[in-house]
Amino acid sequence: LTGVPREQRAFQYVLAHAIPGDPRHVLQTFDQWSYRCEHLSSVGPLKGKIVERLLCERAPRTVLELGTYCGYGTVLMAAALPPGARLYTVEPDPRHAAVAEKVIRLAGFDEETVELIVGPSEEVIPRLREQHGLLKAEFVFMDHWKRCYLRDLQLLEAHELLAEGATVLADNVVFPGAPHFLQYAKTCGKYRCKVHRASLEY
């Protein structure tokens, strides 16, 4: 009714209540908004623990996120990275990217740590090496359109952007579902697969 998108409303709430430079508090404030006010399709705190645990186990130096949305997952991952690591995050929607940029900087991460790239993943992935300096991704988090998961995984393979032993983590593959991606990952012989059971966010 106000004409202000829900993502912008959420950001105004975070801006008013979160402690700048404190990633944990920024995420907690997002959670408060999503539980009490309006649902946001961020990764959320429960699935966020799975992401954090895998990042801590792998300690990657280079991370690629496909689907920035409001920057929740970006902040969560950036906070869990080892010193000197770099995160590249790709968002196709310029309006969401504008919110995410402010959220990421509010949480205290500069462009040396987190680079936000605006554009469709199928256009961005082929130029990640030349234009953005990403040689190999050691950890990939997919949280964008489910129908793009398989295409983008194969694009990463074709452009040799996956480091040896890389981890690819994909959200919501069972519901709403990415059956072709799952089938490929399980049968192509390149990956060892594990499904992490979780509820939908919030």
Mark whether 102 is an active-site residue. Answer: no
Given a contact cutoff of 8 angstroms between Cβ atoms, the answer to whether 117 and 88 are in contact is yes
Tell me whether residue 112 is one of the annotated catalytic residues. Answer: no
Please pick, among 91, 101, 152, 171, the residue that the annotation labels catalytic: 171
Residue 90 phi/psi, 5° resolution?
-120, 125
| Residue 171 among the catalytic residues | yes
Please identify which of the residues 7, 91, 146, 152 carries the catalytic annotation.
146
Angle at 50 between CA 164 and CA 84, to 5 degrees: 55
Per annotation, catalytic residue among 22, 172, 190, 194: 172
Q: Is 65 designated active site? A: no
Among 7, 101, 143, 152, which one carries the catalytic annotation?
143
Q: Is 106 exposed, middle or buried (0-12, 13-18, 19+ CB in 10 A)?
A: buried
Cβ contact 148:181 at 8 Å: no
Has 190 been annotated as catalytic? no
Q: Return the bridge partners of 162, or none.
A: 137
Catalytic machinery residues? 143, 146, 171-172, 201
